[in-house]
Every structure is written in C-alpha cells, then in structure tokens.
Amino acid sequence: MDSGLGGIPYCRHFCKRNPGESVVYLADRLHFPYGGRERGELIGIITGLTEQAVKIFNPKIAVLACNTASLSALARLRERFPALPFAGTVPAVKPAALASKTGKIGVLGTELTIRESYIEEIAAENGGGKIIGIAAPELVEFVEHRIFSVSAEEKIKIVQGYVDRFRAEGVDVLVLGCTHFLFLLDEFKQQASPEISVFDSVEGVTRRTESLLAGIAAEEKVEEQNGERVRKSLVLTGKAAPESSWVYWADSLGFGISLLEEELETRA
C-alpha cells in the first residue's frame, strides 16, 4: 500500500524474487499526497484503507510501502489488526549512520517524515551523528505526475539542487526517505558521487517481507494457493479512470488494473 507510485520499486523488487506470491498493489489516489497531512488524519486514512483491503483481499501480509505512512500509522495498525503481519518502510538511517565518517547524515523526505523524532533516535542509537533533514514535497509531486514526461536533463537538474544543499552542509551519507525518490535513485547516485553515499530501504523491506512469509505455513506458499492461480493486481482508490502512468506500470509489472470505487471510511 502507498499513496501513489512510490511503492512500485519495492513491489517490483519483491515480485522478482518471489514470483509465486499473489500480490495486490493498492494506491490511494484519493488521499495523495500523504506527506503534508497531520499524523491523526493520516492514521485514520490508512486504517480505513487497511480495513477495506482486509475485507476485499484478505491478505496474509501487508506491506506499507511508504515512509510517511509507516512512521505515522504502523504501530496503530499492528494494534488494530493483530492477526495481520505488517512490514513497514522506514528511512535507512541506521546503515547510513554506521557508514558516516563526518557524523552528518542527510535525510530527504516528506514534511511529516522530517519532523519525526524516529530518525534522530535511530541516528543516536547507531554511532550518533547530526541529522540534516530536507523536506521535499515538490519532489514527490514531480515523481508522481511528471517523471514520465521530463527529459533526462531535467531529472538531473532537480536532483542536483538537493545534492548541492546536502553537500554544502558537509554530509557524506544521504538517505532517500520517501519511496517516491527511488525513481530518481540513479540520478542521486550519479550527482552525489563520490563524496556522498546514497542509501535506500528496498532490499531491507523485501527481506523483512520474506522473513514474515517464512513464518507462514508452507502449504500456503505454493504457486497454486488454495487451488487458485497466482494473481497480480494494481488497485487504485477513486472512480476516475486510471491515468496513463498507472496503465504503464500495470503493464510493465504484468498486473491487472482495477478501481476500488467504494467510498473509504477513515478510522482513528
């Protein structure tokens, strides 16, 4: 689950390594973007969305493929749905802090993520270091709505602006703390090298999800699950027809595409 495109790299990575698992990618277009919302509002939105997902899809695992949503709502979701294992997505501050030589850790994220005390606490627990946080809501919008229509030069230009700000602060590690930013991972690595190392959480989230799967009965993991074929679905909230970018990603992933038209109730 994510508010938009951000979780696609995580979904793609997981599916490549686990082709026998049925997967639903649920994109909450109705409430995009999540980053500027207050914590209480976001908890209500995501809890309501999870209730719908449980009722309709009966998942055995839920992956919250959004840093903002995970930092805000993951603890509440685990309380509300104790029988459903959750894998969250949080900024890769721990490995970045351990790798930093200057003790200055750059974190690029949404407004809510940058406000979270979590990132400071994780840095303090793993060698200390100062968090240099930059909120980039405009970059989330750029990825969600323009990433397919801009030139390579424009991608580099927008990334370079953020890298220059972090470089001026003396950081030597940079955490991409929003899943949307993974669509610009190559550009960030190119512009940050060699002074700044770039960290993301794709591998860690997949490993965590696979660990949860390992705890589920073996008979539920075979390709023909309960006599049904493996299903791959991309589901969008709202009644509007899928935008061209969603059609592209559904096709590229080999997923069917459909709408969750039912009005979502929010649960505090």
pLDDT digits (tens, 9 = 90+) for 238-256: 999 999 889 999 999 999 9
Which overall architecture, per CATH, does domain 5-89+203-260 show? 3-Layer(aba) Sandwich (3.40)
Integer Cα distance of 240 and 29 in angstroms: 9
Confirm if 177 and 67 have CB atoms less than 8 A apart: yes
Give the pLDDT of residue 144: 95
List where CATH 3.40.50.1860 sits in the chain: 5-89+203-260, 93-200
Give the pLDDT of residue 217: 58
253 or 128, which is more confident: 253
- Percent of the chain exceeding pLDDT 90 equals 87
Give the pLDDT of residue 223: 45
Integer Cα distance of 150 and 170 in angstroms: 30
Give the pLDDT of residue 96: 96
> 131-134 contacts: CB < 8 A, separation 24 or more?
131/93, 131/105, 131/107, 132/104, 132/105, 132/106, 132/107, 132/166, 132/169, 132/171, 133/106, 133/107, 133/108, 133/109, 134/106, 134/107, 134/108, 134/109, 134/162, 134/165, 134/166
Number of Cβ within 10 Å of residue 157's Cβ equals: 13
Tokens of 103: 């003790």
CATH fold, domain 93-200, is: Rossmann fold (3.40.50)
Give the pLDDT of residue 229: 76
Q: Decide if pLDDT at 57 tops 80.
A: yes
pTM exceeding the 0.85 threshold for the entire prediction: yes
Q: Decide if pLDDT at 116 tops 80.
A: yes
Q: Which residues are catalytic?
A: 66, 178
The per-residue pLDDT for range 210-236, each reduced to its tens digit, is 999 998 855 454 444 555 678 999 999
Tokens of 226: 């309960």
Give the pLDDT of residue 216: 83
Give the pLDDT of residue 41: 95
Instruction: Tell me how long the chain is.
Output: 268
The per-residue pLDDT for range 82-91, each reduced to its tens digit, is 999 999 999 9
212 or 263, which is more confident: 212
Give the mean pLDDT of 13-42: 95
Q: Decide if pLDDT at 265 tops 90.
A: no
